[in-house]
Amino acid sequence: MVITRANERIAFFDVLRGVALFGILIVNVFSFGADSTAWADPLDRAFWTLKHIIFESKFWALYSLLFGIGFYLQSQSPAYTLGRAVRRLLVLMGLGCLHGLLFEGDILMLYAELGLILLLLHRLPNHWLVCVGVVLSLSFPLGHLWGDDRGDEWPPETREEAAEWLEEDLTHSPLSVGRLADVVAYHSENIPERFWVDWQYPDSGLLVLTFFLCGIYFMRVGWPRLQLLSIRSCYRLAVILWLVGLCLMGGERYLAANSGYEVFAQSEASALWVLLGDMVYLCALFVLVGAWFVSVWCWTCGERFPALRERVASAGRVSLSAYLSQTLIFTTVFYGYGLGKAFQWGPFAVCCFAVMVYLAQLMVCHWWCQRFRLGPMEWLWRSLTNLRWESIR
């Protein structure tokens, strides 16, 4: 069943949101030193490559697509009003600001700011949604071309230099040696989020807005058509998307190895090679988001692993609470006021840690959803939005 009639939720979107939580966790735990090229062990490099090809950028995009879908569904609700929508985004902004004091990778502030823009765009006709989405998505490769390089530090020339940088972070970074107050002061410089400053990156705010619009367009055009496809056609579509997406990412890796192209750092390649690499990465992003999307649809419609699917859906139902609890867990493990493991674990170690955290979350979220109607943060968000205390059971 795709529709959960008891609470009028669409089970597929809950499962998809639960899967997206896992991908976001995988990428976020790399923020504490595991992205360094100092980790030269073949197992570590294999897990970094897996993260880059399969997870990086794809899951914030998938989650952004779901935000656009959720925005569309709420705008069609009889209870929808502009005032309620604005309050909902303002509450999200407040939660994001608090969350951003602990972790610089917060997405809630970005979603709240861009959600206000979405209020102005979501009623555009379909052809205008497509046009605006195309223009916004091209801001990444064209902005990189016109604006020269991104202004980051050059990547370390050798693994020895990367190891020195890692050691310096370990001994001097507020994240590894600071108290809670030091961490808060360090992150407060990035509040509020400025969605327009990173427009040359493939995870820019303008691309997030693009996927918001994709979610609205999908609900208008793609959702009815997807439900009419046979399961065999869906499996075939998923395979095609995976093959095309992985080939594109293979091309991006080839350019990185042979031309000096870097998607997230300064490139040594010529401007045209950088433009080619950015376009390949952008196409791969859209195709692999589609591959994950259709694959989860096939899983939801099938009969495989129903117990796991139910638990993933539970995590998706309380995704805001799960997302914020992920930050509390890994900041406690990595930051200096906790276990102080920042800049000490490589890609393999952080991936194993992320899997353990996610499996624990699946059990806790499933237990919670059997007893409560809303997650704790979802309850707070809805109560502040509606200006009354909602029933949580």
Within 8 A by CB and 6+ apart from 273, the residues are: 255, 259, 260, 261, 267
pLDDT tens-digit map of 258-308:
988 888 877 888 888 999 999 999 999 999 999 999 999 999 999 899 999
pLDDT the model gives residue 143: 84
pLDDT the model gives residue 149: 56
pLDDT the model gives residue 136: 95
CB contact at 8 A, 23 and 62:
yes
Please compute, for residue 321, the number of CA atoms within 13 A of its CA located in the half-sphere on the CB side: 23
Alpha helices in 122-158 (DSSP H): 126-137, 139-146
Q: pLDDT-derived band of residue 7, with 50, 70 and 90 as boundaries?
A: very low
User: Rounded mean pLDDT of 345-349?
Assistant: 96
How wide is the angle at C-alpha 326 spanned by C-alphas 322 and 327, nearest 5°?
Answer: 125
pLDDT tens-digit map of 138-152:
999 988 888 655 555
User: Rounded mean pLDDT of 50-63?
Assistant: 96
pLDDT the model gives residue 5: 40
pLDDT, averaged across the chain: 92
Percent share of the chain, pLDDT over 70? 96
Neighbours of 139 (CB within 10 A): 19
- Its pTM surpasses 0.95: no
pLDDT tens-digit map of 211-258:
999 999 999 999 999 999 999 999 999 999 999 999 999 999 999 999
- pLDDT exceeds 90 at position 29: yes
For residues 249 and 363, what is the distance between their CA atoms, to the nearest angstrom? Answer: 34
- pLDDT exceeds 70 at position 210: yes
pLDDT the model gives residue 87: 96
- pLDDT exceeds 90 at position 179: yes
Q: Which amino acid is at 117?
A: I
